[in-house]
Amino acid sequence: MYHSRVRVTLRPSILDPQGKAVEHAIENLDVGPVSHVRIGKYVEFLVDEQEEDAARRATEAVCRKLLANPVMEDFSYELTRV
């Protein structure tokens, strides 16, 4: 069994107004120079496979077909054997 932890992030070319709004809020915290705020998604799930390769293939299929829209998003993931 493998634990997949997926991050879906907006591609660099895509404007992120939500990130901008959060950035403006951070400015009000007065904690110093914080910039380039981008908002993404975190998704985790279990893959019931014995081999890491199979778990990797399953995770990538889930990401490509559903979790990330390649027009605007990239994804990365980590696998841990559990």
Residues of this chain that bind other proteins (CB under 8 A): 14-15, 17-18, 21, 41, 66-67, 69, 71-72
Cβ at position 65, least distance to other proteins in Å:
9
Q: Which is nearer to other proteins, 66 or 82 (CB)?
A: 66
Cβ at position 69, least distance to other proteins in Å:
6
Cβ at position 62, least distance to other proteins in Å:
11
Give the bridge partners for 3, in sequence order. 46, 80
Backbone φ, ψ for residue 80 (5° rounding): -130, 135
Residue 70 is which amino acid?
P
| Sign of the four-CA dihedral 44, 46, 50, 56 | negative
